[in-house]
Structure 1
């Protein structure tokens, strides 16, 4: 919904109350930040719960399965909720659900039941998914429609900032607390201390979500339901299907394997870096290096946006995919700090992949663009399935060789950037 409001609509919304949109935009910016933050915190939660419950890699990857599975299960109901109650109250609902999910980590830690952690994570992810569905259109309406894309780009940068900071937060408050002095404690007491390490950070996050819900509920923001009704009538008049476009279908596969590869690599970084053949660091220290992976993606977005002014998006996508493949081969064949920095550098080349695949896939869809966008969003479920497959590979072949699986994903992305994105007439 790219800011197509009339001047009269904008004027009428500006007159609603005396509150400045700058405060509302600040709130929305923090929503993007916390979405990135909570998603990346899973990379710290995985090695932590793996130790607490003595899980194998496949079992540990159920964390990502539950989190990203919510995108597949909840996206459609979230869209229906937005249509029924409007964007503002859908945002409030999503924040409340997220707060409840965070609070459920406390009884899960007290009872030390892995299934309760997964249930709490799915509820949290359901709130985050609804937040994703509602927040983007809200940002487009908070200000001049002509600068809506600028506001969205800025907010996406704060999303990346969240993914960069989260590993430091998790290393300090989760892994650091879990590895605090255990002298004189029994094994049962040690495991209880490790499980309890998640209580404080997720309580803080629950408070943050609750405060944001109260702030958004108090803000006097425009109601877009009339606009939604107009769009629904337009969609009802559309004939045919987005599925008829080959480059869209191939793009959906591209989104699936990209999100799967990106999430898989991030999920294994702490365990990989702490391996005796790589950096041999305690997990609490290894977690700090995860920030370089996600921080590289943030930096790469700025570089990529400049490069694509002169080189076609498809070529840049193919180049980045091939660079990621080379780095993963170095990771597979190397050891020590060479392998560590090679896999961390993959984040730099991941940077432009999602938005580039998305834009190439919806190019030329015309009246089918909305349906095509929905199909691509559903493909994010790759973040649920590919990590489980990589976990199984790690259990069978070892964590080092498991990094061969993302290579297959990037090979497909290279194909899509080179040929697959070209529309067939």
Structure 2
């Protein structure tokens, strides 16, 4: 499954791009690897070529063009654009993809999509994670040195003129991804849908955080094993991955949006909605994580669809239980038949809610997530209790246990205030944190 990635750079030294492509670098620090004598270590295998550079080096050709047109002279200017096409590791053994063939595909893609730009194309046979995925690096100078025809992703006349700069817009990325998919289709390679997002979206930062965390965990486990001590879990999970697992678990156990938000509160996760989009705030953060950064499975539309499916599945289960034949029910034992008693559809009268002792739970070691959930639970329990007392006319201090007096049901504002005051003194288990 080929993937497509873009990185913009403000580095004025174009030689650094070529150095990264041709010499070995540390995958975590991105610093060049040196041998015992302090010299750069060349990469073992790669293919490299240039476009629109003439007989000059890529870095020299780019700097000459920038001086000619007076562009890319400021520090904040984007000097180059780096595009990466990564092919599926299975393309090698299954579809005959080689480094030379991948280099040809990269050169063709560069000529078709970035005409008029000076570019360097380099193919590596493996990735950072030693997975065997062949990938092509395409680095172009942001400045265009020739007039080019209007391509489908261009929306301004300046996008075709020499002396103007390349813009990587959202429309351009959509077009490039579609072209990569078409490229793989014509070459008979594996490909996934790059245009409709992914269920789990892993950003570049999260990818490297997972890599570094896994390396640190492996190092720690090796030290523990050498000492004969028990090791920790062998798989490192980022905070975003833990949040994804919590959301999935909660979503499988919820039927409404209210259930979903309340269940997440038990883990300390708060659901926020802005402009029709969901975001999730964890206890250790002040800024919520948007669903877009987690994946398409966690946005509002996907959550509502999952909740609707859960509700339909619950209704189907209830219907199948209610449809048990009468003779089968009568022939079963009394205990078994009671388990199949249909649920009453009539609304039940509100009962007195059971409160949660938040202080005791905090003393037991419960975290802030549980405390938030307990706070909302106590508020609902207090509401149910108050409605029950009000319905049964138990808030009046002069209410007799033997029955109710109709003449005393109509109270003045002063008596109503006395009743409320009496309720708080008579029922001290109310959580006063809400008042």
Is the TM-score greater than 0.5? no
Higher relative contact order (CA 8 A, sep 6+): 1
TM-score (norm 2): 0.20
More helix by share: 1
More strand as a share of residues: 2
TM-score normalised by the chain length of structure 1: 0.20
